[in-house]
Amino acid sequence: MDMEILQDYLPEARELLEKAQDDTLRLESDPNNDEVLASVFRAFHTLKGGAGFLEADHLVSWTHHLEDLLDKLRSHTLVINGSMIDAILRGLDVIDDMLQQLACGENPGPGPEELGQLIQELAAGKRAEGVSVNGPIESDATPSPPPSESMLLVSQRPTVAGEAGLFLERTESASSSETAADEITDAEFEATLDALYGNKAPGVTNASDSEHLNSDEISPEEFEQVLDQMYGKQAPGYEQPALTTPVSAKSTESEQAAAEIAPPTQSVSTTTSPSPEVTNASKVTPPARSAAAAQEAAETTLRVDAARLDAVMNQVGELVLLRNRLSSAIGSLGEENEDMLRIAREVDITVNDIQSTVMRLRMQPCKRLFQQLPRVVRDASRQLGKEVTLEIVGEDVEIDKAVVDALSGPMTHLLRNSLDHGVESPADRQAAGKARSAKIRVAAIHLGDKVRIEVSDDGRGIDSQFVTRKAVDKGVITAEQAARLSEQEAVELIFRPGFSTNDQVTDISGRGVGMDVVKETVRKLRGRLDIETKPGLGTSISMEFPLTMAVLPVLYLRLRREIYALPVSSIESLLDIQENRIHRMSGRSVYRVDGTEVIPMVDLGRLLHDRPLRLGSEPIEGILTERGLIMVSEVLGNEDSVVKPIDFLAEQNWYQGATISGKGNVVLILDAGALANHVIDHGGDSTIINISCKGAA
């Protein structure tokens, strides 16, 4: 296997696969869209071509069968139906597995025989009993007479090179009325191909047949030549989309117009039964891109190995640390030196610019993250017998590649969880006075230096009492801890490891892992997780992530003689601790921030030094975070830092990592969430603030 070709092939193949899946799902609601059909066909064709070069015979064979099916759909020899969509989607999954095997350096094994057989039978028009999933799709898979535009003339004659060649000519119906005897349909063309090549058609290399290969076998190059001769510039996979399919000018214009007026919202209906509502779902039209624009994009786009970008990002991180040290060194100079100050300022600005530019290199649109979701919703809703409309907003919002990569699994968990637990069955929804079809909304919103990703549904919401009861039953928390929980804390129990409201494990949920994965992933990405629920109305889970993972703005603080850092993103504000605002509640020390907000106090002295801070006898300042008020000796200042992982600590600790301060010292970065959770879990022990000589408030 040529590793260089493989390295080029894999990313392109994955993109093609993602696009093919996206397009296949679009075919469900828009089965007559020739452009989408052609796009899927091109994807399989290109996948097959690349696999041929890699000698991945089973992948070639698999994509060939799918290509065959798509070719007949594209030429309207067959009409698409639900069974075909299912088969194509499952076929895509098999290709995905094969690509993973390729990525591991293995030659992919054969795909599932049963599915392969099904795809071949569908392509041959032998399975007419397919179940239609959508109203507009006809369940009749009987080959229909090809349209007059698709009439082809085939002839076998020597090529320029003197070898035997197969020539195909497309003729207009008006001018070909007299050639009835010479004309063949696509089906006849296929039959001719079979007669010519038998089971050794280009790309088909069944293991059982391989020993019978003879001089009739053609190489991938020859296969491409045949295709070129057959289609000329209209060859499948050819880069000019306008020329690939016989789409009439009128329909193309109308689709372009639709693309122009379409709002930036994609709505994908995944109802499992034929329903007129499906047709109400807004039509998704692929962006109309001219060949020139595509060519221009190809010329100005460079595919770079992610590892190289990571290396650049790490180097920028080191540059940021050096910048901090330079600023600190100049700041500590005894007398002011204008030149040095100016140089420091210019270095500061330049490093910021470099950091910002490199950060943008790693940014990817959320579309990459969201494109798998329609499939997830479709499959899960079918499995659960629920009707769901998925709305996706903000696909263009960009976020760090690390976040996009890491969130793929959690997004699936969130959607499956929402479908399984949040969304009611159609009958229940009707009984509750809601529409039969539930709505799940996935949105990406740009907020300053953060991106918020929301997954919300209009389902039944979360019953905090039920959740608490289940958590106690499953031993996630004790009854005593349960008694101390606020309503919000009770709802957040769903993120605890091992928690599930299902008593039985199913394909969708029940293991108590999914939501824990969501929480852990958000924590690792230095994000923030929020949940909001209204019984009977729905649940919204939002995750906020920093735009970039490379640089972390931190606030330095002092606890007695030691310096720590806290991510700025977790800080609400800095407070002067007032004794009269400290209260005791359910065995915890709490602080009254204002008239409405009362939050737990986190005594950092007790947690980290095992010696509580004493208000009145030593300086104490408060850092208000979303989960609690952290008590420290002094707040020092902020800085942009670079996080260095600390792998040698126990799995559960209070640190996000370490950084190097401007003065060159290693400083531990505290995890505000972990600190607050510890206080919530361990109640009063760790949160009693000692008030010197005055007694507890």
Partner 1 sequence: MDIQHIMRVVDASFAARQSIEKALREIDRRALNAMVLVKRHGNALAGYGVVAQAFRERAAILKTSASHLQESIAPLIEAYMRILQHQRFAQSFQEMLSDSPLHGQACPNLISTQNTWQKIIQQEEVEAVKILGHLLETVQQLQEGIEEQEYVVTNGRIEAALAERTGAPLMRVSRDMGEAVRTVAQAIRSYRHQLESLEHESSTRL
Q: Which residues bind partner 1 (CB under 8 A)?
A: 448-450, 547, 553, 555, 568-569, 571, 573-574, 576, 621, 635, 637-638
Are the CB atoms for 531 and 384 separated by under 8 Å? no
| Calpha distance 212→204 (Å, rounded) | 13
Q: Which helix (H) or strand (E) holds 29?
A: helix 3-29
Q: How far is the CB of 492 from partner 1 (least distance, A)?
A: 22
| Calpha distance 41→337 (Å, rounded) | 68
Strands (E), 270-402: 363-365, 388-393, 398-400
Between vectors from CA 398 to CA 393 and to CA 402, what angle results, nearest 5°?
Answer: 115
Comparison of 455 and 623: residue with beta carbon closer to partner 1: 623
Please give the single-letter amino acid code of residue 106: E
Secondary structure class of 354 (helix, strand, coil): helix
Are the CB atoms for 371 and 407 separated by under 8 Å? no
Q: How far is the CB of 568 from partner 1 (least distance, A)?
A: 4
Q: How far is the CB of 427 from partner 1 (least distance, A)?
A: 42
Locate 635 and state its tokens.
């707040």
Q: How far is the CB of 569 from partner 1 (least distance, A)?
A: 6
Comparison of 108 and 673: residue with beta carbon closer to partner 1: 673
Q: How far is the CB of 635 from partner 1 (least distance, A)?
A: 6
Comparison of 493 and 571: residue with beta carbon closer to partner 1: 571
Are the CB atoms for 689 and 612 separated by under 8 Å? yes
Q: How far is the CB of 670 from partner 1 (least distance, A)?
A: 15
| Calpha distance 329→318 (Å, rounded) | 16
CA dihedral (689, 690, 692, 695) positive or negative: positive
Comparison of 19 and 450: residue with beta carbon closer to partner 1: 450
- Name the percent of the chain in helix, strand, coil, to the closest 5: 45, 20, 35
Q: Which helix (H) or strand (E) holds 603?
A: strand 598-603
Comparison of 450 and 614: residue with beta carbon closer to partner 1: 450
Comparison of 389 and 569: residue with beta carbon closer to partner 1: 569
Complete edge-to-edge strand list for the sheet that includes strand 183-184: 164-170, 152-158, 183-184
| Calpha distance 232→228 (Å, rounded) | 5
Q: How far is the CB of 574 from partner 1 (least distance, A)?
A: 5
Distance of CA 306 to the CA centre of its chain: 17
Comparison of 438 and 443: residue with beta carbon closer to partner 1: 443
Comparison of 196 and 359: residue with beta carbon closer to partner 1: 359
Are the CB atoms for 629 and 622 separated by under 8 Å? yes
Comparison of 268 and 443: residue with beta carbon closer to partner 1: 443
Q: How far is the CB of 525 from partner 1 (least distance, A)?
A: 17
Comparison of 211 and 576: residue with beta carbon closer to partner 1: 576
Q: How far is the CB of 639 from partner 1 (least distance, A)?
A: 10
Q: How far is the CB of 548 from partner 1 (least distance, A)?
A: 10
Taking alpha carbons only, the member of 143, 98, 102, 141 closest to residue 116 is 98
| Calpha distance 390→579 (Å, rounded) | 51
